C-alpha cells in the first residue's frame, strides 16, 4: 500500500520522527534513516529523508520525505500490506491523519 501526502508548515525531520513514533506503535521498528540536505541557488536548502521500517530485520516498508524551501513537505509512504494486518495499517493511517490532517494540502 502506498500513501502520498503533501503538507505545509511541517519540518521534514519532525515528520520523520512522528512517523517513526506511529510506526513503532504498530510494533514495527524504524531501521536505517538517511537524511541529506541540498543547497539551492537561492541560498535556501532542500531536505531528502529515506527511512526503512522493519520487523526482526525484515523490511516491511519505507518512507520518503522531501522538504522544499517553499514551506512544502511531500511524503511517500510504502507499507507491505501483505505482511501487516489491516487493523494495524488502519490504526497507523488514522493516527497519521489525526496528527497531520490540519497541515495537509488538499488537491
What is the C-alpha to C-alpha distance for residues 82 and 17, in angstroms, rounded to an integer? Answer: 25
8 A C-beta contact, residue 67 and residue 50 = no
Question: What's this model's pTM, rounded to 2 decimal places?
Answer: 0.90
> pLDDT tens digits, residue range 37-82?
999 898 888 999 999 999 888 888 999 999 998 889 999 999 888 8
Give the 3-state secondary structure of residue 62.
Answer: strand
What is the C-alpha to C-alpha distance for residues 18 and 16, in angstroms, rounded to an integer? Answer: 6
* CATH class as words, domain 2-103: alpha beta
> pLDDT tens digits, residue range 74-107?
999 998 888 788 898 899 999 999 999 999 998 7
The predicted structure's pLDDT at residue 2:
93
The predicted structure's pLDDT at residue 32:
83
What is the C-alpha to C-alpha distance for residues 9 and 70, in angstroms, rounded to an integer? Answer: 9
Amino acid at each position: 500500500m502506498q500513501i502520498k501526502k503533501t503538507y505545509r508548515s511541517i519540518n521534514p525531520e519532525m515528520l520523520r520522527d512522528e512517523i517513526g513514533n506511529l510506526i513503532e506503535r504498530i510494533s514495527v521498528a524504524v531501521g536505517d534513516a538517511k537524511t541529506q540536505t541540498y543547497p539551492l541557488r537561492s541560498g535556501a536548502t532542500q531536505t531528502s529523508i529515506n527511512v526503512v521500517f522493519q520487523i526482526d530485520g525484515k523490511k516491511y516498508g519505507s518512507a520518503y520525505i522531501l522538504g522544499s524551501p517553499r514551506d512544502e513537505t511531500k511524503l511517500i509512504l510504502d507499507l507491505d500490506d501483505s505482511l501487516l494486518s489491516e487493523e494495524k495499517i488502519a490504526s497507523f493511517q488514522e493516527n497519521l491523519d489525526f496528527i497531520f490532517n490540519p497541515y495537509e494540502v488538499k488537491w
